[in-house]
Amino acid sequence: MKKLPVKTVNRLVEIAIAVDEIYDKMNEAHEKLLKRLEEMKEQANVLRDEAFQLLDNAACEASDYYDARSENWQESDTGRAYSDWKDRLASVRDELDSLPDIEPAVINRPEFLDSIVNETLLEPEEY
């Protein structure tokens, strides 16, 4: 066979065009999804910032309260329990501050489509 039959070439081009259209639709849907994800991410960041501020204020107040107590109270069972609690507040606050950002996925169009559409695959180079 010196080259692909016309019927095969035509069908491959039809397939490449159809797949290309599907990828266009996927990218359109992906863009809409990315926009919605960005909106949701912003909402989550606002809530995370609010929670961080609340926990930061609580941790500071708890630390001030603890520091204002006597050394005997701090070393008591109640003082140690309070110290553990204030440390947990600070720990959760720090975890909120270090949450990773969401990285959206990318949809890449397959390279083989270009080969078919540009007919580089359809006819052999001179041999």
* % the chain with pLDDT above 90: 35
| Distance in angstroms (rounded) separating the CA atoms of residues 88 and 91 | 5
CA distances from 30 to 25, 42, 55 (A): 8, 18, 36
Would you say the C-alpha torsion 112, 117, 123, 125 has a positive or negative sign? negative
Asked, for residue 107, whether it belongs to a domain, the answer is: no
Contacts of 42 (CB under 8 A, 6+ apart): none
Q: What is the pTM of this model?
A: 0.58
Percentage of the chain beyond pLDDT 70 is: 77
105 domain-assigned? no
| Residue 92 placed within a domain | yes
pLDDT at residue 3, rounded to an integer: 82
- pLDDT recorded at residue 51: 83
Rounded-to-integer distance, Cα 59 and Cα 65, Å: 10
Number of domains in the chain: 1
